[in-house]
Structure 1
Amino acid sequence: MLQTADSVQPFSTARPMRESEFASHDGTRLFYRMWPATGASPKGAVILLHRGHEHSGRVAHLATELGLDDFAFYAWDARGHGRSPGERGYSPSFAASTHDLDCFVRHVSETSGVSVEDIAVIAQSVGAVLATTWVHDYAPPIRALVLASPAFSVKLYVPFAKEGIALWDKLKGTFFVNSYVKARFLTHDPERIASYESDPLITRPIASNILLQLYEAAARVVADARAITVPTQLLISGSDWVVRHAPQHRFYENLGSRIKERHVLAGFYHDTLGEKDRAIALAEVRRFIDACFAEPWAPADLRTAHIQGYTKDEADRLASPLDATSPRGIYWALSRLNIKIGALVSEGIRTGVKTGFDSGSTLDYVYENKPRGLGPGGRLIDKVFLEAIGWRGIRQRKLHLQELIDRALQRLKAAGRSTHMLDIAAGHGRYVLDAIETAAVRPDSARLQDYSSINVDAGRNSIATRGLSDFVSFRQQDAFDGEGLAAITPAPDLAIVSGLYELFSDNALIAASLDGIARAMQPHGLLVYTNQPWHPQLEMIARALTSHRGGEAWVMRRRTQEEMDQLVAAAGFRKIEQRIDQWGIFTVSLAERV
């Protein structure tokens, strides 16, 4: 049955619906609804994400109205919303909610048998920012992404409201902000207005930490939308009272997808897919998803992004010298001078200047996180140095490494396998030795390696001090020597690459290293690897800090998570799960040798 702009009629009778739960990353069980495919030729699954104050019941109508009968539909209640547990409007962090989404999609894929490549996501408002952040940070190979009025910038109306919320959150901790939005400013549909006003599951408060982190995540993914290559459709409500249009257009302009569409819907309020004339929007969504599934899945090949790609262009700009007499040239010259002065009194800065700020010695100091320096002033400067956002991200990366190493060892043990470990570039070894000591399963052996004799000596001393010499060794070896890695015995069941590939732009080096690891392994061996898809201080690092390579400027080429995952997949690994810090800087992933 055809739809008109004045009414929305179902293509078929209402679908049968099931209710269920899934366990998220921290064990919390979140509620979701599921509508099985009713068509004769099932094609895949569509996941629906609701607005920030709503729940799965508010998007349930789409399962029928979209008329995509060959697709199963899934819709969750986000943590702290609807019938899912948690304080209303609260989540530990926006990153935790993004991780929830990753767990939900993996649950859908595992329980339905639908591959992630055959999943599409339709998301509204805050849900659209959540979906965008997930696609940016986790690089899932989904078939299509539809974003309806993404809340990249919420209109708070009160002057300096965001700054006030941030200040109060810092002084007093998390508090709740109630939604001011009336239903009549969300949609022109009288039935939707009435149901919103009477719905007991509507969650009007939002926690201050989530609101602030929503802004931060949105700014990051809008600025770095080139990293997103999934086919994407953007629906913009023309008369939106809730969110601003400009960041939505900027996101579209930056979007790296080869297949992308933008539709501005004149007169639509914020509830784009629940508007009175939503048939107009739904027709576009239906056509887009059908078109995306009509062609074989064909992701962009990013394995040569080090030769031609936007992060290569970014790194080239950072490596270009500045006119010494220009304002920026003078600014960064003074910054370098301040670092040299700081090295006179701060132990951490002195270590960075001496060995390189990306060296194993500096990272070991950052992991230790104990300010030291000349007198109280020196210790204060050292504390400020250690609290830089990049170093906070490094320490969170260490925690994620320990978590996934533990999970990997338990997985191997449960499969009845041996548990021989290999870390190909361990630095001083602190993070991996801490992981070994805290893991539930003791590895059969652990071989740590590094190219630097300084790191090897420090690592051996640490192994002896900890009393681990009976099964842990430390050797000097090049992590990019593929033949040397392939010849390692005993063959590793678990290989670890942390903080190494991020320091080298050339993907050929990374491919050779991964190939050596893969050849050393038996099928179903595990790989823990890190990546840095984003950093807010790239220019400061490039213009002011030096690397371990002869004191030259520390210029980093970021790898998007999709690029890194493709290199790992090309070596014969399948990513199983991932962690990322709340700032979106460092990822840690676990993959299986297939």
Structure 2
Amino acid sequence: MGVHKWSANDSRGAIVLVHGTGEHHGRYEHVAAYFNQAGWDVYAEDLPGWGRSPGRRGHIQSFEDYLSRVREWTSTALADASGEKPVFLMGHSLGGLIATRFIQTDERSNELAGLILTSPCMKLKLAVPAWKEQLAQFLDRVWPTLVMPNGITPDMVSRDEAVQAAYRNDPLNYSKVSVRWFTELNRSMEKAWEERNRIKHPVLVLQAGADTLVDADAVEQFTAGLSDRQTFERFAGLRHEILNEPEKEEVLQKIVTWLNDNIPL
């Protein structure tokens, strides 16, 4: 599928943006526009199983399906930058977990200048009962493509009623995930915690304070275990999609300020 690029005039560098569960990169057009105005190119595309990406909706064979796609996007951004401008990796929610695993595992991650995470999925807010975990593990072996509701409702993502309506009516959003997706998510969250010490990049983590999907305390704990080049901020009262809340410009400006402060010399 390639990757979509929003270009800035007189670019200072680039951001590869990874979206979250059940959505698509088109929901970040306003984010890309803000970054473009600040002098940053943005690369993004739909993850496997979401948006216009080919394949079974809400399903992956393994988490590597995501990582290989992000590898393509970052390779394009790095090639365009030609070593002359910095490239940062940014992910929201599931995309934050994907971006984290990419930094932890990919051999080209050392070419990236830093990592930006917004409400990253390091631990789910609601604990899954043990019997459901066991059932999922069984179904993963016998019926991995079985889909189930992802539990995300429009009021969980933002306090903005216009955002809620757009989320509800967007035909490219998809509200189900497969059993294999669920087991791969759990496995990848565990790996992210186990391999925190592999992250040597500057990291910015911005977390929704009123998040009902991601465990904000766990995200803060995860960030605290990284290198001393990490910055964490929790936004009180904001729901999961902090880039779609009424205060989104405050959040976006914090990202731009951090980017400008972390351009490699």
Same fold (TM over 0.5): yes
Cα offsets for 1:46-80 (capped at 9, x unmatched): 11111111101111110122455422111110111
Instruction: Please state if 1:265 is matched with 2:235.
Output: yes
Q: Do the aligned partners of residues 33 and 278 (structure 1) sit closer, same or farther apart at CA in structure 2, a change above 3 Å counting? A: same
Report the equivalent of 2:169.
198
Work out which structure has the larger RCO, using CA pairs closer than 8 Å and 6 or more positions apart in sequence: 2
State the Cα RMSD in Å. Answer: 1.9
Taking the aligned partners of 2:81 and 2:241, their CA distance within structure 1 comes to 32
Paired letter, 1:60: E
Paired letter, 1:38: N
* Partner of residue 145 from structure 1, selected from 115, 122, 125: 115
Report the equivalent of 1:330.
none
Instruction: Please state if 1:237 is matched with 2:208.
Output: yes
Instruction: Please state if 1:58 is matched with 2:54.
Output: no
Residue correspondence of structure 1 range 231-310 to structure 2 within 5 A: 231-256=202-227, 258-293=228-263, 295-296=264-265
Q: Is the 8 A contact 1:109 1:116 kept in 2?
A: no
Report the equivalent of 1:132.
100
Taking the aligned partners of 1:200 and 1:174, their CA distance within structure 2 comes to 21
Q: Is the 8 A contact 2:35 2:42 kept in 1?
A: no
Q: What's the secondary structure of 2:177's corresponding residue?
A: strand
Report the equivalent of 2:65.
96
Report the equivalent of 1:215.
186
Report the equivalent of 1:107.
76
Q: Is the 8 A contact 1:54 1:201 kept in 2?
A: yes
Identity of aligned residues (%): 23
Q: Give, in angstroms, the shift of residue 117 of structure 1.
A: 6.7
Residue correspondence of structure 1 range 393-472 to structure 2 within 5 A: none
Q: Do the aligned partners of residues 250 and 197 (structure 1) sit closer, same or farther apart at CA in structure 2, a change above 3 Å counting? A: same
Residue correspondence of structure 1 range 111-122 to structure 2 within 5 A: 112-115=80-83, 118-122=86-90
Q: Give, in angstroms, the shift of residue 144 of structure 1.
A: 1.8
Taking the aligned partners of 1:274 and 1:204, their CA distance within structure 2 comes to 18
Q: What's the secondary structure of 1:63's corresponding residue?
A: helix
Q: Is the 8 A contact 1:187 1:269 kept in 2?
A: yes
Taking the aligned partners of 1:208 and 1:249, their CA distance within structure 2 comes to 28
Between structure 1 and structure 2, the one with the greater Rg is 1
Q: Give, in angstroms, the shift of residue 156 of structure 1.
A: 4.8
Point out where structure 2 has 5 or more consecutive residues left out of the alignment. none
Taking the aligned partners of 1:38 and 1:189, their CA distance within structure 2 comes to 31
Q: Is the 8 A contact 1:187 1:274 kept in 2?
A: yes
TM-score, normalisation: structure 2: 0.91
Taking the aligned partners of 2:144 and 2:106, their CA distance within structure 1 comes to 29
Q: Is the 8 A contact 2:43 2:73 kept in 1?
A: no
Q: Give, in angstroms, the shift of residue 102 of structure 1.
A: 1.1
Q: Give, in angstroms, the shift of residue 116 of structure 1.
A: 9.0
TM-score, normalisation: structure 1: 0.42
Residue correspondence of structure 1 range 154-173 to structure 2 within 5 A: 154-156=124-126, 159-160=129-130, 161-173=132-144
Q: Give, in angstroms, the shift of residue 35 of structure 1.
A: 1.0
Q: How many residues align?
A: 262
Q: Do the aligned partners of residues 243 and 113 (structure 1) sit closer, same or farther apart at CA in structure 2, a change above 3 Å counting? A: closer
Instruction: Please state if 1:83 is matched with 2:47.
Output: no
